[in-house]
Structure 1
Amino acid sequence: MRKILTFFVLFFVANSLFAQNTWDGTTITPVTHSKNIYTITNGAELAWIAQQCNNGSLDFKVSTVSIAEDIDLGNHEWTPIGTEEFPFLGNCQGNDKVISNLRITGTNDNVGLFGFMQSYNTRTTLRVSNVLLENVNIKGGKHVGGLIGYAEHCAFDSCYVLTGTVEGSEAVGGFVGRTLYTACSDCFSNVKVTATTNYGGGFVGVNDTSDGMKLIVTYCFAKGSVSGPGTNGGFVGLNNSKVKSAYTVTNPISGATFGGFCGENTKLGKFENCYFCTSFNSSIQGIGDNKGTVDVDLDMLGSTNVQMMQDGFVGTGSGNGLNGSDYGKIHWSPDLKTPQTPANERHPIPLWYYILK
């Protein structure tokens, strides 16, 4: 009898914990920081972060939002964290916890889990790391992304957006809508992207000018599909910055102008060691409209998905990462100004083969 009673008590506790982490769409629970760290354990607390930021009560400057538990947002309407009027000025540490069932509807600009992040000065880079999103269904206007709509002077590391749809009018990306002076490293997205007007990208809609090309998109990849009537790319819709050691197996890709990797590359746009998949469309070009200077024999290479799975392509390192045995090591110094050189940078490992197959 005691064993049966113990079982039911444990069952009740487990279900109570589960219920706490499945947001009901309305509850907002205040969070008290400890040494400028706001520890988040459920959707109600995360909604409080959005509320306080968006109404101008707190900007979270020099603070960190730390996700301590998996969070199910329950497919209830989500309000993105940060607006153009009141940007989120803090950092976020996801701790490899999964935030699932994110839903946003409407036509607002700057939408995603985060809406608008912008550093409080040009010498400070806001950091977001190890934030994992699964099953997103997002609709908005301009600057729409799975993780964030608009990011300026930010750095994203080891984050992903996995499964779902991201739709907007312009600058729409599976991971981020628009970047400006922003770095992304070891991140990926695998969603269906639709840009109803222009510039859809499997990973980023518009990748804008970096400060001396020091903050760049590197060691990232995209899978899924990209569609819309304008200019679209398997990885980036419009590139006005630098992308290095990244690749995409996005399919299908469509638009008035489209490329396997990039829709439009400006005069300032640069690519280094980037790959796109030719398995689904053997005649597709890496860049739809190239206004810059790119060595297509070295830095914009078409490969089949079979080639991407060969040992020679993935390099000699071991491990389930973009850089084999080097995966997990930092690629930037703490000041984000000195790139570190991974062992297999010429041959990024197709992480989707290990995780998404």
Structure 2
Amino acid sequence: MKKQLWLYAALLINLNSDLAHAKPQDKQTPDDDSGAVYNDSKKGIGVLPAAALAISTCAELQGINNDLSGEYYLANNVNCAGFDAGDGNGFLPIGNEATPFVGTFDGQEFSISNVLINRPTMDYVGVFGRAGAVDGSDEAIISRVTVKRFNITGRQFVGGLVGQLSYSSAENVHSQGVVTGEAGLGGLVGSNLYSIITNATSSGSVNGDHTGTDPNKIAYGGLVGSNDGGHISCSSSNVNVLGDYKLGGLAGENVGGTISQSFANGTVDGFSEVGGLAGENISGTIANCFATGAVTGEDEVAGLVGLQDADGVNPMIRNSYATGKPTGVSNTGGLLGLMIKGACADNYYDMTTSGVATDGCGAGGRTTAQMQMQNTYPGWDFNNTWQMNGYPDLRCAPTPPPPILDTDNDGIYDDEDNCPLDANTDQADLDKDGLGDVCDNDDDNDTILDPADNCPITPNPDQADLDKDGFGNVCDDDDDNDKVLDPSDNCPLIANPDQADLDKDGLGDVCDDDDDNDKVLDPVDNCPLIANPDQADLDKDGLGDSCDDDVDGDGIVNGQDNCQLIANPDQKDSDADGTGDACDTPESLAVQTTGLIVTRNAQANDDLAQFKMSSMQDLGAAAKAAAATAKANKTPLALTIQFGATGATPIYSYTAIAADLASVAGNRLLFHSADKKVQITCPFSAARCVVNIRKTDLDNAQLDALLTGELTVSLQVGVSTYSNTGTWKQFNSGNGKVTTYRKNK
């Protein structure tokens, strides 16, 4: 009672009095309507002390416990997400019942966010547990700070910012979060003991016991749980309050304190003494206030104050109104539920929105239309305190921000939750569109809604589905539905369960456009499954020789054809050696070299050495066929003419190699060198072979030696050689210019 008398005595003191700078027990409190700010001689609110210590981190904030009388300020926003004091219960409140915080703390308009405190058996719980000495011997000043997105749990005297504020002050302070406990709970301050709170807001929820079985579980308020001898001005609350007894949208109970120029618009749900602004007003003053939230309870339930009574000093409610709907069993009023003692003056409530026709204060019930007319409120100060904004609105009270809630109870507050109505602690957001996957109806952001999307978490606006299995190609791990998963499938888009890969190039045959890997694409490859880069096709039937089972096109399959490369449909084999006559080559064949050799003078411009050999028919068809086979197969073939003794260095020799074989046609062999210096013609029917050698550069002696020596003629086809050697002697000699020789018979 002594403290209450101090407060009300202070109300009579002029704001300009020297007592404004007196000791704590003589502190000045402004007039209940003014909303003026208390100022202390040592620690003025909003004035940053020169020796103040900067707080930049949550650990530094926690460290204030090491010096509870220091002067501090926030240097930046402080995020306490994940912070723990070391005991697994989150942040440890600054100051406690025995050793309160008695310093200054200036937030400089910065915030403290994501504070988690889980200490359900501890009293005096908040960012600051207890601030200010309970006997008034020393005070704390807290200013210009917002605590938000907090979740704070204690037993009693629990607040978002301060558990209990004693003989101290808090100005321009704000809270947004959740407070849970048993008694003395406030969104901002749990217990305001002979302290001043001004320009403050709170939003969120206050969750107390709601069983109605323990009458000691009291004082639940949106801003302050219990305002015991304290002063609250120019403040507001948007908090949903749940508890048992003495619940208010702004203050659970106002005992000997003052609440002025403040309002509440959150819902309040309790059992007894339940009000939109205050649960009870005991010897306190409520002036120039209003409440708009719905109120629910059983007894003493009202739009503004549930119960008003006196404990020495008569309480007062004046110049205030309510629009919320009260729902109760007994003592339910539009403005006041039950008044035992006290007074009311110039108060109103909205009969239309409240649905209540009576009031415990005798306040004037008005329709909504009347409540929104300024002339309904005679005597109210619309120059300094009020202004019309539909209903009357306060000029000094700040509007509280929307509550920061955790609607889906996933530990992430709604303002940071990408699915505020669906629990998703991982906050997964596949398409990074700001909507969490659990509540995003187009997870991959491809404009196809998930229920109709065949790949709901992988973008595929074309909805391509090769195997028509209901899974889009981009998310189907077996696109061709051949039971071989795409990472292992050598043809992922064409079904090939056997995974055949002829050329072992890693591409299955069904999707390989060069199955034999011979660099000739399958559509133009005459042997698409057997490598044949030369595309040889002897019989010109469109099938390459490598894959043609009848290469010579004679109707006899290769395995049964005795001449696979030369057409011989009759399969004639005279010597019964398994090789048909058309391609059979005898091991030796005598070459008769009877005939003439004619030479011309070596000095002539067109030297010519010509010999004829008869019996060329002895070479016959076999030699011709062998030569044709050799040409077709690109096997060695050569015709050698050599003058000189056998085994000795020849006087002259020439070998017509395969490259010089011009043709095997017209019943003859035709050889000539690239420079046409040597030309050899062996027409078989003429029974002779003529060799023309031009510009031999041989002198007469060499010619004489050549023409009197030996002549060896060899025809080599593959591994077979046809050869004969004869001795030539001079037959007749002329003037040296033309000499004819004949071989001895």
CA contact (8 A) 2:248 2:278 kept: yes
Helix, strand or coil at the partner of 2:149: strand
Aligned counterpart in structure 2 of residue 299 of structure 1, from 304, 319, 325:
319
Matched, 1:126 2:135: no
Structure with bigger gyration radius: 2
CA contact (8 A) 1:294 1:300 kept: no
Matches within 5 A, 1:28-47: 36-47=51-62
Residues 305-328 of structure 1, C-alpha deviations (whole Å, 9 max, x = no match): 999xx8979xxxxxxxxxxxxxxx
CA contact (8 A) 2:93 2:128 kept: yes
Gaps of 5+ in 2: 1-48, 84-89, 210-216, 325-352, 354-367, 376-380, 387-392, 404-745
Aligned counterpart in structure 2 of residue 248 of structure 1, from 250, 254, 264:
264
Residue number in structure 2 paired with 1:100: 113
Gaps of 5+ in 1: 1-33, 53-57, 211-215, 314-340
Residue number in structure 2 paired with 1:199: 219
Deviation at 1:229, TM superposition (A): 2.1
Report percent identity of matched pairs: 25
Deviation at 1:135, TM superposition (A): 0.5
Aligned counterpart in structure 2 of residue 290 of structure 1, from 295, 308, 314:
308
Deviation at 1:126, TM superposition (A): 2.5
User: C-alpha distance in 2, partners of 1:255/1:302?
Assistant: 20
Residue number in structure 2 paired with 1:11: none
Change over 3 Å in CA distance of 1:35–1:239 after alignment to 2: same
Helix, strand or coil at the partner of 1:159: strand
Residue number in structure 2 paired with 1:113: 127
Residue number in structure 1 paired with 2:187: 174
The one-letter code sitting in structure 2 at the alignment partner of 1:199 is: A
User: C-alpha distance in 1, partners of 2:291/2:82?
Assistant: 33
CA contact (8 A) 1:89 1:120 kept: no
The one-letter code sitting in structure 2 at the alignment partner of 1:67 is: L
The one-letter code sitting in structure 1 at the alignment partner of 2:272 is: A
CA contact (8 A) 1:173 1:205 kept: yes
User: C-alpha distance in 2, partners of 1:260/1:41?
Assistant: 38
Deviation at 1:209, TM superposition (A): 1.7
User: C-alpha distance in 2, partners of 1:229/1:303?
Assistant: 23
Matched, 1:59 2:68: yes
Change over 3 Å in CA distance of 1:342–1:64 after alignment to 2: farther
Matched, 1:259 2:272: no
Helix, strand or coil at the partner of 1:115: strand
Deviation at 1:199, TM superposition (A): 1.1
Change over 3 Å in CA distance of 1:75–1:275 after alignment to 2: farther
Answer with 107-116 or 70-79: which moved more. 70-79
User: C-alpha distance in 1, partners of 2:201/2:322?
Assistant: 19
Deviation at 1:85, TM superposition (A): 1.5
CA contact (8 A) 2:249 2:293 kept: no
CA RMSD of aligned residues (A): 3.0
Deviation at 1:200, TM superposition (A): 0.3
Matches within 5 A, 1:217-228: 217-228=232-243
Matched, 1:352 2:399: yes
Deviation at 1:253, TM superposition (A): 3.1
Number of matched pairs: 278
CA contact (8 A) 1:253 1:259 kept: no
Change over 3 Å in CA distance of 1:284–1:121 after alignment to 2: closer
Helix, strand or coil at the partner of 2:60: helix
Change over 3 Å in CA distance of 1:39–1:173 after alignment to 2: same
Residues 144-194 of structure 1, C-alpha deviations (whole Å, 9 max, x = no match): 0000001111111111002x2101111100010001110011000002002
User: C-alpha distance in 1, partners of 2:402/2:100?
Assistant: 33
Deviation at 1:119, TM superposition (A): 4.2
Residue number in structure 2 paired with 1:31: none
TM-score norm. by structure 2 comes to 0.35
TM-score norm. by structure 1 comes to 0.70
Answer with 34-43 or 88-97: which moved more. 34-43
Change over 3 Å in CA distance of 1:342–1:312 after alignment to 2: closer
Helix, strand or coil at the partner of 1:47: helix
Change over 3 Å in CA distance of 1:343–1:133 after alignment to 2: farther
Residue number in structure 2 paired with 1:145: 159
The one-letter code sitting in structure 2 at the alignment partner of 1:345 is: T
User: C-alpha distance in 2, partners of 1:120/1:253?
Assistant: 31
The one-letter code sitting in structure 2 at the alignment partner of 1:172 is: L
Deviation at 1:295, TM superposition (A): 5.5
Deviation at 1:124, TM superposition (A): 5.7
Structure with greater contact order relative to length (CA < 8 Å, sep ≥ 6) = 1
